[in-house]
């Protein structure tokens, strides 16, 4: 079912897990480069996982475009690329085990109803014993996490109502939810360190609780500041962020290195991308990265 996770004191295993909903943009590059440098600076493995579990958002060909872009930027992954869409049997096995333990229940609440009750789910359907068919499935939150230590952001505090919420692990439309599959993938791939954007700080608390529920050690987390075009507006595929240039990777790479707290020397842009990355690996440290959760794009360029 699941392979045992490595101890956090063992070999470093990091990952970059893009969703194939469009090409990589500058914010994606920062996340990819940050996770790559963190792994390679520790002589660790860097894996790539395509998070295509949310099939309505998948853009045909985006996965191939992402992988070719990573290669153009010198970000070569270790081991075979994993696709979530090919791992349904693993997810269902774990879901069945949780159901057999009485930890899963059906929920019929709509987003509108939840909003009317205060904007967060209040475990309304726990005692209703609704049929699983046609309803969303929620996990009983027996291991709420409202604070954790992040390697960049320091001590992170999560609102109690979010920490205690029974969250969805299989959607009404039959798709497995991100909160479930990301933990199962990290366990199965023996991920020891996760470096990703600060927009995932709150979901981390739920994921830490699920690791505890499944009796597996959790990875160490480091959340990078988000690239924003203006305060509160994350650079993302949803707001049509432009794709990074695959033909000339050096300018964006140097900008991403500056965003990650490094100070590339002026003559670095005359080197090949592989040599730039060698310098970056030798110079990289999580302690150099800003603790701010948002940084404007102008800070990099």
If you ran DSSP here, which 8-state letter would residue 22 be given? S
Are 74 and 249 within 8 A, CB to CB? yes
User: Which residues sit opposite 47 in a β-bridge?
Assistant: 15
Whole-angstrom Cα distance, residue 24 to residue 120? 32
Q: Is 51 annotated as a binding residue?
A: yes
Whole-angstrom Cα distance, residue 79 to residue 257? 25
Whole-angstrom Cα distance, residue 150 to residue 152? 5
> If you write DSSP's letter for every residue of 228-254 in order, what string do you get?
EEETTEE--TTTTPPBP-SS--HHHHH
157: tokens are 């505090």
- Work out the end-to-end distance of the chain between its first and last CA atoms, rounded to an integer number of angstroms: 46
Q: Is 109 annotated as a binding residue?
A: yes
Whole-angstrom Cα distance, residue 27 to residue 138? 31
Q: Is 120 annotated as a binding residue?
A: no
Whole-angstrom Cα distance, residue 192 to residue 44? 10
98: tokens are 């949780």
SS3 assignment, position 3:
coil
CB atoms within 10 A of CB 49: 21
Instruction: Find the angle CA(155)-CA(160)-CA(164) to the nearest 5 degrees.
Output: 115
Q: Is 258 annotated as a binding residue?
A: no
Residues 6 or more apart whose CB falls under 8 angstroms from that of 272 comprise: none
Whole-angstrom Cα distance, residue 70 to residue 200? 22
Whole-angstrom Cα distance, residue 204 to residue 200? 6
Q: Is 247 annotated as a binding residue?
A: no
Query: What residue numbers does the annotated binding site cover?
Result: 15-19, 51, 107, 109, 121, 125, 178, 196, 237
Query: What residue numbers does the annotated binding site for L-glutamate cover?
Result: 15-19, 51, 178, 196
Query: What residue numbers does the annotated binding site for Zn(2+) cover?
Result: 107, 109, 121, 125
Query: What residue numbers does the annotated binding site for ATP cover?
Result: 237
């Amino acid at each position: 079912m699941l392979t045992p996770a490595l101890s956090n004191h063992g070999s470093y295993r990091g990952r970059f897990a893009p969703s194939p909903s469009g090409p990589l943009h500058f914010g994606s590059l920062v996340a990819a480069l940050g996770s790559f440098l963190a792994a390679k600076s520790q002589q660790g493995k860097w894996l790539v996982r395509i998070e295509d579990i949310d099939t309505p958002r998948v853009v045909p060909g985006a996965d191939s475009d992402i992988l070719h872009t990573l290669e153009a930027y010198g970000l070569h992954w270790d081991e075979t690329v994993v696709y979530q869409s090919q791992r349904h049997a693993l997810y269902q096995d774990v879901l069945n085990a949780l159901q057999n333990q009485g930890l899963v229940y059906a929920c019929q609440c709509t987003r509108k109803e939840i909003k009317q009750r205060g904007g967060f789910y209040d475990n309304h359907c726990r005692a209703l014993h609704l049929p699983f068919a046609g309803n969303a499935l929620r996990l009983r939150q027996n291991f709420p996490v409202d604070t954790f230590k992040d390697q960049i952001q320091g001590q992170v505090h999560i609102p109690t109502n979010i920490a205690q919420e029974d969250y969805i692990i299989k959607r009404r439309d039959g798709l497995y939810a991100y909160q479930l599959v990301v933990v199962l993938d990290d366990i199965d791939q023996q991920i020891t360190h996760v470096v990703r954007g600060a927009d995932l700080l709150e979901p981390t608390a739920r994921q830490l609780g699920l690791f505890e529920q499944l009796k597996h050690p959790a990875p160490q987390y480091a959340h990078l500041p988000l690239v924003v075009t203006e305060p509160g507006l994350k650079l993302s595929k949803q707001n049509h962020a432009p794709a990074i240039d695959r033909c000339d990777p050096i300018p964006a790479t140097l900008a991403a290195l500056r965003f990650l707290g490094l100070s590339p020397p002026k003559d670095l842009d005359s080197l090949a991308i592989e040599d730039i990355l060698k310098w970056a690996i030798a110079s990289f440290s999580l302690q150099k990265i800003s603790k701010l959760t948002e940084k404007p794009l102008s800070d990099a360029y």
